[in-house]
Amino acid sequence: MIGSNIVQGLNAIGIDDVIGVDDLTDGPKYRNLLGAQLSDYFDRSEFYARFARREFGQVDAVFHEGACSDTMEHNGRFMLDTNYRCSKDLLDACQAQGTRLLYASSAATYGGSVAFREEPAFERPLNVYGYSKLLFDNVVRRMLPTARTGPLTQVAGFRYFNVYGPREQHKGRMASVAFHHFNQLRETGKVKLFGEYGGYGPGQQSRDFVFVDDVVAVNLWFLQHPDQSGIFNLGTGRAQPFNDVAVATVNAARAAAGDAPLALADMVRTGLIEYVPFPDALVGKYQCFTEADLARLRATGCDHRFADVATGVAAYATWLTTSG
């Protein structure tokens, strides 16, 4: 999802010498690359070894967005091989060739923390996915100080918070709540949210929801500022309740139909929003609150302004409607 949007973003600023890398075992995923300008494409099973052998000439930068992002995946061996070892091998190859690496970390590294700063004291992953991301972040942390004693090839990791937006339809249950809300509303006429849990009222659990266009913009800012390396939060810096996502989704659909917007209470009263019991499978493994601390990102000079939920979800709903 994020990778395909980054390709579109690169094309938009005139960069089309782009090698696409993916696993298209799920064939319909090709739709994410429709309209993108690529110079070549490789399956992930082939790319890494060929890149390490320097078969692609001098590559300026690699955007490494691929991972197993299923927070319910319990096979730690698979998770670490896919998310950690693959990333570590790619880092080594990039450093050997002087190729910059901009990669996807995750807010899952914070897990049960109540603060979200890029510091070990706040990193408490609740699942092996979060741990796999933290393990690689720690490798980057160890190498950056030594790299700074000599010529530094940029390495920037982005701890994505809850990303939503176009080109995520292939992700199934791991797609964003905005995606699921849109489809629930279209198919059943209502949006379902978790009820009371973790000291939060129905639908009041809050996350830092970030529109994928903003994620692309920050990645491209770092591409244009090769002197900036490190690990950075990438979210809006403000938590919003799941209720806000549901309200934005319903009101976007109403606007498309020419209907007036409704308040949350009216949506609950009329059955447009329904609260369901919190699932037992997620008890103790669920982040009820996330909010990116943007101090480190802002200290680089990146002053990108992020869309709020109402703005981003409305744009996304329009894209979902027009893209079929």
| Spatial contact of 213 and 307, defined as CB atoms under 8 Å apart | yes
Catalytic residue, chosen from 84, 103, 110, 129, is 129
Strands annotated E in 108-237: 155-160, 162-164, 191-194, 206-207, 209-211, 230-234
48 is an active site residue: no
Nearest to 43 by CA among 66, 61, 63: 66
pLDDT, the chain, mean: 94
Question: pLDDT tens digits for 264-279?
Answer: 999 999 999 999 999 9
Nearest to 117 by CA among 289, 291, 286, 308: 291
pLDDT for position 224: 97
Nearest to 227 by CA among 304, 302, 143, 146: 302
For residue 100, the SS3 value is strand
| Spatial contact of 196 and 288, defined as CB atoms under 8 Å apart | no
Q: What is the pTM of this model?
A: 0.94
Catalytic residue, chosen from 88, 171, 190, 192, is 171
Query: Partners of 164 in the beta sheet?
Result: 211
Which has the minimum average pLDDT: 91-100, 114-123, 164-173, 251-260?
A: 164-173
171 is an active site residue: yes
| Spatial contact of 134 and 125, defined as CB atoms under 8 Å apart | yes
For tokens 């603060």, the residue is 115
Question: pLDDT tens digits for 206-234?
Answer: 999 999 999 999 999 999 999 999 999 99
Question: pLDDT tens digits for 87-102?
Answer: 999 999 999 999 999 9
CA dist., res. 181 & res. 190, Å (int): 8
For tokens 């109403």, the residue is 254
